[in-house]
Structure 1
Amino acid sequence: MDEMQLLRDFAGPAGLPASGDLARKRAELIAATTARRPARRLGLVWGAAGLAAAVAAVVALSPGGTTVPPGPAPRPATDPVSILYTAAAKARALPDVTPRPEQFVYTKTRLADGRENETWASVDGTHDGLVFLYGHEASLAGCRDGKRVQKESHGRTVTNRCVPHPAAPAGLPTDADTMLAYLHRSTYGEGDTLHDLGNEIIELAEGYLRPAVRAALFEAVAKVPGLVARTDAKDATGRTVLGISWTGMNEPGIGNQNEFLFDPVTFAYLGAGTGVVVNQGIVDAVRQRP
């Protein structure tokens, strides 16, 4: 039996996908095949279009049967672009929850010494939140009518001008190019440097993002020049994880102390080196946990 002829009969004429799509498609396939499922149901069922696309990605056949040279080789699993696209595909598959303005973003992080910090931050930035930081409790005053009234010790209060800082910003980009343009409008004020961009990315990544927004963020990072991936990176608790950084991400002279860290199995974002994000979600009230 001529297997190549069977493939041609089944898939029809097929051309190679654009080279820029290969990493994204490969990441989506990895995300689909590594999703949790019962042990006896690990088979992947493909339709005709899916099989044809897979065949085209490996070897493209012209109508006359002439083998067309393959495109660029698939990126290895340790390639930073593949890691980021896989993380994006995983993020995009998560359940989508639209927070209400009066709710709070709960985040728990674990430090290297085992201590845990917890934060309840206002979704729209106008409600009073709470933080447990290094064993101490403090209020997070919301910004209302342009004023923030912060409670301090001994019953004192301090009032400052403010603008609301939402913990779950609305209207963020959901595609990579628009997200990258958004990130380049740095809020750190010193121009369009990669260090500023790194700060902007980390601040956004550690907040609550809806799945499509988080996926766009990871795909935007994949476009940053000078990416470096490490499969032996360590999170704050010493666990081996995937780390991604780039030239200019860290302060000059102090080395790579910040890395974009991912779980090596689930590709969930874990933080940027100072603490591991162990839980995050939307809750209705301060002190409530997901």
Structure 2
Amino acid sequence: MDEMQLLRDFAGSAGLPAHEDLARKRAELLAAAARPRHRRALWGGVTAAGLAAAVAAVVVLAPAEEAVRPVPPAPPATDPVQILYTAAAKARALPDFVPRPDQFVYTRTRLADGRENETWASVDGTHDGLVFLYGHEASLAGCRDGKRVQQESHGRTVTNRCVPHPAAPADLPTDADAMLAHLLRSTHGEGDTVHDLGNEVVELAEGYLRPAVRAALYEAVAKVPGLVVHTGAKDATGRTVVGISWGSTTEHGIGNQNEFLFDPVTFAYVGAGTGVVVGQGIVDAVRQRP
């Protein structure tokens, strides 16, 4: 059968449209193409076959075997040196900020029973600070001209000789070996046992340290022998943390143990075994909070 003959029989004879009709229709077509169309109108022109083809195209571009799958959580790190060096790298990447000598380091810690302590410690150690400790308020006298004048109850004052103890020391090492040497010779501890070293480490870690100094502190701890990781440790608030402890046996056979607690995701230091740091910052005056 001749399909073209069937079409001619069905449509009959038809002449070509006039030239002016073609020009008018062409102008109407161009004007319609130039008009903005509503997004919904575009979907109205999609046929069922076209929509199926579009869906098929999506399936082809993203086959099931190549679909994005949830990334399983990384297994907890078990190498204490790796954890400490990761924490050091995270610390070193933090923004650096140099506090003024007349400012204060504000620190808020939380205990296991829910109580919180707050401290305003002088950046350079010469200005009077303040502490809220176990529900009681007490002043932290600064050391000026080698003297510390501490206010006692009933208006009584006590004067002692002193050296300033800055809350944000400006001259701490940024190298791991130099930091370890500093910890060992620190005047705040004997420096002859791991327990004393641990006290120095915790005291520094819970204060304000510039990024390079904090990184050096973690790398110095990584050099301490006998490190042990506790992946299921809990901090004072009950959160799961990564704990690093180390022990030593003194000449008297007494074991000493210290613990460093890190957030398992950010590797930020969160405290020691008895409390957790929940807030810290630099402020201009006592009783001010960041």
Fold similarity call, TM over 0.5: yes
| Contact 2:107-2:281 within 8 A present in 1 as well | yes
- Aligned equivalents of 2:268 and 2:151: distance in 1? 36
For residues 184 and 244 of structure 1, do their structure 2 counterparts lie closer, same or farther at Cα, with a shift above 3 Å needed?
Answer: same
For residues 148 and 280 of structure 1, do their structure 2 counterparts lie closer, same or farther at Cα, with a shift above 3 Å needed?
Answer: same
- Alpha-carbon shift at residue 246 of structure 1 (Å): 1.0
Identity over aligned pairs, percent = 85
For residues 188 and 125 of structure 1, do their structure 2 counterparts lie closer, same or farther at Cα, with a shift above 3 Å needed?
Answer: closer
Q: How does 1:248-287 map to 2 (within 5 A)?
A: 248=248, 256=257, 258-287=258-287
What secondary structure, in the 3-state scheme, does the structure 2 residue paired with 1:181 have?
helix
- Alpha-carbon shift at residue 131 of structure 1 (Å): 0.4
- In structure 2, the residue matched to 1:120 is 120
Moved over 3 A (4+): 188-191, 249-256
Q: How does 1:115-154 map to 2 (within 5 A)?
A: 115-154=115-154
What secondary structure, in the 3-state scheme, does the structure 1 residue paired with 2:107 have?
strand
| Contact 2:248-2:255 within 8 A present in 1 as well | no
Q: How does 1:183-198 map to 2 (within 5 A)?
A: 183-188=183-188, 190-198=190-198
What secondary structure, in the 3-state scheme, does the structure 1 residue paired with 2:159 have?
strand
| Contact 1:186-1:196 within 8 A present in 2 as well | no
* Structure 2 spans left out of the alignment, 5+ residues: 1-74
- Aligned equivalents of 1:232 and 1:253: distance in 2? 26
For residues 135 and 76 of structure 1, do their structure 2 counterparts lie closer, same or farther at Cα, with a shift above 3 Å needed?
Answer: closer
- Alpha-carbon shift at residue 192 of structure 1 (Å): 2.7
- In structure 2, the residue matched to 1:159 is 159
| Contact 1:118-1:133 within 8 A present in 2 as well | yes
Task: Give the aligned length.
Answer: 215
**Cα deviation code 1:49-87 (max 9, x no counterpart):** xxxxxxxxxxxxxxxxxxxxxxxxxx9822101110111
- Alpha-carbon shift at residue 195 of structure 1 (Å): 1.9
- What is the one-letter code of the residue matched to 2:141? A
For residues 131 and 252 of structure 1, do their structure 2 counterparts lie closer, same or farther at Cα, with a shift above 3 Å needed?
Answer: farther
- Alpha-carbon shift at residue 149 of structure 1 (Å): 0.9
* Structure 1 spans left out of the alignment, 5+ residues: 1-74
- Aligned equivalents of 1:235 and 1:185: distance in 2? 30
- In structure 2, the residue matched to 1:38 is none
Where is the helix percentage greater, Structure 1 or Structure 2? 2
Q: How does 1:91-130 map to 2 (within 5 A)?
A: 91-130=91-130
- Alpha-carbon shift at residue 187 of structure 1 (Å): 2.4
- In structure 2, the residue matched to 1:247 is 247
- Alpha-carbon shift at residue 190 of structure 1 (Å): 3.8
Q: Which structure has the bigger radius of gyration? A: 2
- Alpha-carbon shift at residue 116 of structure 1 (Å): 0.7
Q: How does 1:31-50 map to 2 (within 5 A)?
A: none
| Contact 2:146-2:162 within 8 A present in 1 as well | yes
2:225 is aligned with 1:225? yes
- Aligned equivalents of 1:263 and 1:87: distance in 2? 9
For residues 99 and 159 of structure 1, do their structure 2 counterparts lie closer, same or farther at Cα, with a shift above 3 Å needed?
Answer: same
| Contact 2:148-2:161 within 8 A present in 1 as well | yes
2:208 is aligned with 1:208? yes
**Cα deviation code 1:97-143 (max 9, x no counterpart):** 10111000000000101111000000011000000111111111111
**Cα deviation code 1:128-178 (max 9, x no counterpart):** 000011111111111111111111111111111111111111111111111
- Aligned equivalents of 1:169 and 1:252: distance in 2? 35
Scaled by the length of structure 1, the TM-score of the pair is 0.70
- Alpha-carbon shift at residue 249 of structure 1 (Å): 9.0
For residues 189 and 93 of structure 1, do their structure 2 counterparts lie closer, same or farther at Cα, with a shift above 3 Å needed?
Answer: closer
- Aligned equivalents of 2:104 and 2:184: distance in 1? 28
For residues 190 and 212 of structure 1, do their structure 2 counterparts lie closer, same or farther at Cα, with a shift above 3 Å needed?
Answer: closer
| Contact 1:199-1:249 within 8 A present in 2 as well | no
- Aligned equivalents of 1:184 and 1:273: distance in 2? 22
- Aligned equivalents of 1:210 and 1:188: distance in 2? 20
| Contact 1:103-1:282 within 8 A present in 2 as well | yes
- Alpha-carbon shift at residue 248 of structure 1 (Å): 2.2
